Structure 1
Amino acid sequence: MIPDAPAPEAEWFQTPTLRGQHIFLEGLNESHAADMCAGANAETVRLLARGGPSAATPEAWAEYIGRLNALPNRINFAVCLRSSGLCVGRISYSEIKWADRWVEIGTMLLPAAQGTAVNPEAKLLLMARAFEVLGAGRVHFKVDARNARSLRAMHKLGAVQEGTLRQYQVVSGGYARDSVMFSVLRGEWPAVRAGLEARLAALG
């Protein structure tokens, strides 16, 4: 059930542990750095809007996680496998606007987790919290126009493509990227939720 009024602002910035069938989400911290470093490759960080770690070391990953957690109006979750506890990525409310009842979601998954149940279940957990606990009216996603995998994932999710923000953000190396905006509104969430649940059922 989607609440009629938003939860108090402080609740939007909490990081409770969220559990699914395959994964759990917990607050991202430096203890996840070693797993992320071990599982990442150059492609993992190439298109990150906020840049990535300065080197392929656990220490650099820990510093990167610290930078993410210091950003205002943002909270970050580690994506961990229930079977092993291994961290296989992160998913974030990368911007929170309580007054306007929306959140932006951003995801980074390690190669071993891509194309599995991890992505749809992580989206399901975080979107369900946004709509059904926090009372958000909108969840949106900004995707680098060069990121074909993420663009396909947004269409598969059932999010509405709203347009392209041209040269919207300067990323690592000074490149001004185009960002493709997608959104799901509260009235669209039940259908999107059903689609995610069907995908998870098909994946076992």
Structure 2
Amino acid sequence: MNDWLLAPTLQGRTLRLESLSEVHAARLLRHLDEETTRYLSRGAPADLSVESVAGYLRALNAVPNRVNWAVVTNDGDVAGRISYSEVRPADRWVEIGTMLTTPFRGTTVNPEAKLLLLERAFEVLGANRVHFKVDSRNERSLRAMAKLGAVREGTLRRYQVRPDGFARDSVMFSILAEEWPAVREGLRERVDAALR
């Protein structure tokens, strides 16, 4: 069960996922903006400084039952972070949360990062389910979930109070183990198409 809370380096074709730490703050800050952090459930760094971003990353790593990776492109850019934002080994599920900076949207980064974490969840850890919660106001992420092939389960109304006091509605999506092969194929096709 402890394997569920480890963050091994996961190598893809265009990027790798490596354990998130303060050393990623300066490279993450290069592309970080308000658009990237607007809908994050745990809020954003206090300001766009290396110290503030490092503090934000420390706070994420201190959250219990959470495993965080930096999304590092093959040329060394930090495109964002991706997490098992909640891990429940006894129930055999994880939740995935993603924050990608603006320049990397619409590239291979999102499908490949998701592919790596979903492969780990279903094929290494033996998860029955992976789910995602999206702020109901975040149209871009809602479209991304549909493109991923995740099933929309419903809306958790006023589910979480953000640090700014706003009680957000979260739209729940999931992928079950038996749905994973089709989702995996779709993600692989998206990465392949982008690399042609």
**TM-score, with structure 1 as normaliser:** 0.94
* In structure 2, C-alpha distance between the alignment counterparts of 1:87 and 1:38, rounded to whole Å: 8
Q: 2:140 aligns with which of 132, 149, 155?
A: 149
Question: What does residue range 86-105 of structure 1 map to in structure 2 within 5 Å?
Answer: 86-105=77-96
* In structure 2, C-alpha distance between the alignment counterparts of 1:98 and 1:85, rounded to whole Å: 32
SS where residue 67 of structure 1 aligns? helix
1:164 has 2:155 as partner = yes
1:38 has 2:41 as partner = no
Calculate the aligned-residue CA RMSD, in Å.
0.6
Structure 2: tracts of 5 or more residues without a match: none
Q: Which residue of 2 aligns with 1:132?
A: 123
Q: Which residue of 2 aligns with 1:53?
A: 45
Q: Which residue of 2 aligns with 1:70?
A: 62
Amino acid at match of 2:62: A
SS where residue 43 of structure 2 aligns? coil
Percent identity over the alignment is 60
* In structure 2, C-alpha distance between the alignment counterparts of 1:85 and 1:162, rounded to whole Å: 37
* In structure 2, C-alpha distance between the alignment counterparts of 1:86 and 1:199, rounded to whole Å: 21
* In structure 1, C-alpha distance between the alignment counterparts of 2:45 and 2:33, rounded to whole Å: 11
SS where residue 85 of structure 2 aligns? strand
Asked whether the equivalents of residues 43 and 164 of structure 2 are also in contact (C-alpha less than 8 Å), the reply is no
* In structure 2, C-alpha distance between the alignment counterparts of 1:194 and 1:37, rounded to whole Å: 33
Q: Which residue of 2 aligns with 1:106?
A: 97
Structure 1: tracts of 5 or more residues without a match: 1-8
Amino acid at match of 1:23: L
* In structure 2, C-alpha distance between the alignment counterparts of 1:102 and 1:34, rounded to whole Å: 32
Report the Cα offset of residue 172 of structure 1.
3.0
Asked whether the equivalents of residues 150 and 173 of structure 2 are also in contact (C-alpha less than 8 Å), the reply is yes
* In structure 1, C-alpha distance between the alignment counterparts of 2:29 and 2:192, rounded to whole Å: 30
